[in-house]
Structure 1
Amino acid sequence: MKNVGKRSILYIVNFYGSPPLNYFEKYLNENKSTYLTIIKLPAVRPSKNRINIDAFIKDEKGNKHNIDLNLFFPLPNFLVFMVQYVLNFFILFILLSKIKRKKFNIIIGETNFGGANAYILKKIGRCDFSIYFNGDILPDTQSSNKCFFLPNNESFFSPFFKFIDSMLIMTQYLLRKMGYGNDLIWFGDKKIEEWDSKKGLEAHNKIIFHGILIDYKEYEKYNSVKKNMNDICYLGRIDDYVGFDILIPSLALIKKILPGIRMHVIGGSVVGIEKYRNLAKQNNVEDNIKFYGYVPKMEDAYNIMSHCALGLALYKPVKDNVSMYTNPGKPKEYIKVGLPVLLTKGGPEIGQEIAKYNAGVEVDFDKEKVTDAIIKIISDNNIYVKLQSGVKRYALKEDINIHFKEFFKNLEKLLIKH
C-alpha cells in the first residue's frame, strides 16, 4: 500500500460512541485525512424472550442506514446468544450492501467477532489491509464454576448452563484465533499481548496503543456541569466482578449517614438488572438506585454522569476477573466528564496511575471500606477540590491530540511497508 493519500477505512464495532472509536473518529474528522465508514453491529446481550437488533452503517459522507428490530424469541438465553451471533454476520453484509463503496483501503474490526469479520472481508477482497483491535482477554473456563456470558442461577440445570457457557467462550477463542489472520494486531494493552502469547497466539505485525483516551475539550464541557454531591454513578456491565455484590449493601450503609444518596447505574442486561434490583429491595435502597439499562447514545450516558459527583470502578481483585488483564476504559470515561474515581486496591494497573495523579482513590474491596470512602469523598469539600485538580491534570495527560498523532505515525510506517 504505497499510496499515502486520503484513504478509506471501515471500522466495525458493537458499541458506538465509546473508546477507542469515538476518539478515532473525532481525530480523523478533525484532520480530514480519511474517508471513514462505520458499521455498528447489535450488541449481543441476554434479554428475556427478546432479540434486540440495533445496527447501522454510516458512510463516508455521513449518510446513515439503520436496522432496528425487537423480536419475540421465547427461548433460553444461550439460544439468544447463538442466534444473535449468526444474525450479526448476515447483518454485516446487509449493511455493506447499503453503500456505494465496495472496497476499502483498511478495515478495522473491534472485539473477537469484529476481528474475525475483518479477516473474512480481507479474504474476499473487500480491503487491502485489515486490523484486529484486540482490547480484552477471555475468561478461563476452568478458573470458576460461575458462568461468564450466561446468568448464574443455582438450580438442577446449573452444570448444563456452565457447559453451554464454556462452549460460548470456546467460540470466542476460535473467533480470536481467526482475528490473528489479519495484517495487523492492535493491542489495547501489553498485558493482552502477553496473555495471548501464553495461549499460542503470536502477532506478525503489532501496535500496542491504549486508544482509550480523553478529549480535553469534552472534559472542559462536562466538567462545567454542576455536580450533585448526593449522586454517584456506575457505567458498564453489572455483575459481582465490578463490585455490585458489595456496592448495594454499601449503599444501605451510606443511606444511614446521607439519606439523599442516589446511585445511577448505566448499562447491564435485563437479567442482570433484575438480579440487582432485587438485591436493592432486600437492602431497602430500591429508591436510592436508578437502573437505566442499555443506553444506545453515549452522549446521553455522559450527560447523566456529568451531574454526579463520583464514578465507581470497583473491579473485584480475583484471578477469574478478565478486567484484571486489561486497560479498562470506565475510569477514563468518568474523568472525561469531570468525576474523580473510586477504584479497588489490587485491581487493574490504571487504578494506581489515577491514584498517583490524585484523580481518584483506591480502596480495599470491602463493604465498610467502600462505604467510608464514598462518604468521605462526597462530604469533605477540601478532599473533593483536591481530587478535582487531579482529574484535570490526568485529563490533560491523556488528551487524544497528543497520543493519536503518534499512533497514526506508526501505523503509516506499517502501511507503506505493506
Structure 2
Amino acid sequence: MKKWNKHIFTAELPYEKDAVVSLFLRENFAQVDDFIMSLGQMSNIPPSRLLTYKNGKLVNEKVYVKNNLKEAGLKLYLYNIPKALTFVTIDLIRALKTVNFKCDIFFAQHFMPAFVAIILRKLGILKCNKIVFWMFDFFLIPPEFLRSLYYRGIDYVQNFIRTNVDEIWYTTPRLAETDVQHFGSLPTTVVKRLTHAVFFRRISVKSPRPIPPLKLAFLGSLRRNNAVYEAVKTVENCIKLGMKAELHIIGSGPEENRLIEYVKKSKISKAIKFYGFVDDGIKIAKIFSRCHLGLSLYPSDPYGPNWYLTSGKSRRYIAQGLPLIVTTVPYLAKYIYDYKAGIIVDNDPGVIAKELKKIYDSPKMLNSLRRGVNKLYHQYQADNILNKLFTSMFSTGKI
C-alpha cells in the first residue's frame, strides 16, 4: 500500500524520463497520471504522453501530438511556440478527460498546465482539492521585441497563477524573494513552500580513473547563452597550459553543428566528445563516471533565468558526486560555496583553466571537494525534501 492513498495528476517537461519529482509521486501515491508535454529546447522534442501508474506500476500510456520548435526568430515566436502551446493545451485537456477531470491534487511542474488547471477549475470542469504550482523559472522582460512579447505573456500568466493556486513551491529562496518583489505579496490563501535543490537519485557507477587526463562534463542545451563555447575554450586553454584534458558534452541544440565545426577548426577534436541528447539517467551517470568535474558556466545575462534557479545540469552533477566548476550567476553557487563542493569562478575560460591547473597538479584536492558534494547531496536529496513537503501538506489540511 502506498504512503498516501490519493490520486495525483502531474504535468512536466520531457527532459528526463526518470524525472525526480514524478518518480517520487508514483512511488508514494496510489494513482499518478503523468502528462509529459511536447515542449522544450531540444532539437528533437518527443510527443506529448500520458502515463498512468497505479500502486507504482504503469497500467496505461497514451501518445498525443509531437511538436517542432527548431525554428528561430519571427517564425518561432509567432507560429511554432503558439502552435505548440495550443496543441499541448488540447492534449492536456484530453488527458484530463481520461480521468473524468477528477483528481485529489493537480501538481503542475510548468506554468502552462497550472494555468489550464486553474481555468478548468474556475469553470467547474476540473474537480480537484488542491492545485500546486512548482515554480522553477522567472524571466525579466528582455529588450528584444519578439522575445519581450513572449515573456510579457509568461509574466501575465504567472502572476495570474500565483494568486489562484492553493500552493506555490519555489526552488530557491532567491526565486521566492524575486517573485514577491516583482508581483507583490501572495494572497493569504496561497501556501508557500521551498524545495531547496531536490537533487536526483544517485545511480551507482564506477569512479573515474585518476588524473591525467582531467575529464570535464558539460550537460545541457547547446546554445550560446548556455556557455557551451566557454566550456570548449576552457579545454583549449587547459591544453595550452600543458594539461591533458577532455570535455564530454551531453546535449543538443541550435549551436550543435557550429560547435562541432569550431572544434574541428581549433584542432581539438580528440579532446572533445559529443554524445548528443541523452534522456536516460543511467546513460548520463555512466558518462559522468568517466569525469572528474562538472561545468556549470553561465554568462551574466541580466534577463536570464539562471540567477533564480538550481539548474538540472548542476543537480545531476551533484547527484552523481561530481564537484562543480560554477560561475557566480546561479543561486546554486551559494550551496557550492557553503559546502565546499566545487570552485566558484568568473565566466572566463582562461581563468577557469588556471583554477583547473591547481587540481591537475594536486589531484587530492578532488577528495575534499567530493566530501563537500556528498554532504550537500544528502542534505537536499529529492526524496527527503519531497517527503517533508508532502507530509506537511497532508498534516495541515484536508485533501
Pair in the same fold by TM > 0.5: yes
CA distance in 2, matches of 1:414, 1:206: 11
Alignment partner of 2:156: what SS?
A: helix
- Structure 1 residue 262 corresponds to structure 2 residue 261: no
Q: Which runs of 5+ in 2 are unaligned?
A: none
- Structure 1 residue 396 corresponds to structure 2 residue 378: yes
CA distance in 2, matches of 1:168, 1:56: 25
Aligned partners of 1:314 and 1:365 also within 8 Å: yes
Q: Between Structure 1 and Structure 2, how many residues are aligned? A: 383
Alignment partner of 1:381: what SS?
A: coil
Alignment partner of 1:219: what SS?
A: coil
Q: Kindly state the Cα deviation for residue 364 of structure 1 after the two structures are TM-superposed.
A: 2.4
Q: Which runs of 5+ in 1 are unaligned?
A: 143-161
Aligned partners of 2:337 and 2:344 also within 8 Å: yes
Aligned partners of 2:132 and 2:169 also within 8 Å: yes
CA distance 1:317–1:33, change in 2 (3 Å):
same
Alignment partner of 2:165: what SS?
A: coil
CA distance 1:308–1:67, change in 2 (3 Å):
farther
Residue 86 (structure 1) aligns with? 86
CA distance in 2, matches of 1:85, 1:306: 37
Matching of residues 323-338 of structure 1 within 5 Å: 323-338=306-321
Residue 208 (structure 1) aligns with? 193
Residue 290 (structure 1) aligns with? 273
Residue 219 (structure 2) aligns with? 235
Q: Kindly state the Cα deviation for residue 259 of structure 1 after the two structures are TM-superposed.
A: 6.8
Alignment partner of 2:126: what SS?
A: coil
CA distance 1:281–1:171, change in 2 (3 Å):
farther
- Structure 1 residue 128 corresponds to structure 2 residue 129: yes
Q: Kindly state the Cα deviation for residue 60 of structure 1 after the two structures are TM-superposed.
A: 2.4
CA distance 1:114–1:277, change in 2 (3 Å):
farther
CA distance 1:227–1:358, change in 2 (3 Å):
farther
Q: Kindly state the Cα deviation for residue 307 of structure 1 after the two structures are TM-superposed.
A: 2.5
Q: Kindly state the Cα deviation for residue 132 of structure 1 after the two structures are TM-superposed.
A: 1.2
- Structure 1 residue 44 corresponds to structure 2 residue 40: yes
Q: What is the one-letter code of the residue matched to 2:138? A: I
- Per-residue CA deviations over 1:269-310 (Å, capped at 9, x if unaligned) read 2x2323433443443334432344433333332332232211
Alignment partner of 1:311: what SS?
A: strand
Alignment partner of 2:19: what SS?
A: helix
Q: Kindly state the Cα deviation for residue 46 of structure 1 after the two structures are TM-superposed.
A: 7.1
RMSD (Å) for aligned C-alpha atoms:
3.1
Alignment partner of 1:83: what SS?
A: helix
TM-score normalized with structure 2 length? 0.84
Aligned partners of 1:105 and 1:128 also within 8 Å: yes
CA distance in 2, matches of 1:140, 1:73: 23
Q: What is the one-letter code of the residue matched to 1:134? A: M
Residue 405 (structure 1) aligns with? 387
CA distance 1:214–1:65, change in 2 (3 Å):
same
CA distance in 2, matches of 1:5, 1:385: 40
Q: Kindly state the Cα deviation for residue 245 of structure 1 after the two structures are TM-superposed.
A: 4.0
Alignment partner of 1:59: what SS?
A: strand
Residue 368 (structure 1) aligns with? 350
CA distance in 1, matches of 2:196, 2:15: 14
Q: What is the one-letter code of the residue matched to 1:27? A: F
TM-score normalized with structure 1 length? 0.80
Residue 56 (structure 1) aligns with? 49
Q: Kindly state the Cα deviation for residue 87 of structure 1 after the two structures are TM-superposed.
A: 1.7
- Per-residue CA deviations over 1:31-54 (Å, capped at 9, x if unaligned) read x4442211100123375xxx8442
Aligned partners of 1:334 and 1:340 also within 8 Å: yes
CA distance in 2, matches of 1:400, 1:73: 32
CA distance in 1, matches of 2:172, 2:359: 30
Alignment partner of 2:134: what SS?
A: strand
- Per-residue CA deviations over 1:354-398 (Å, capped at 9, x if unaligned) read 233222111222221111223333553211222222222222222
Aligned partners of 1:118 and 1:132 also within 8 Å: no
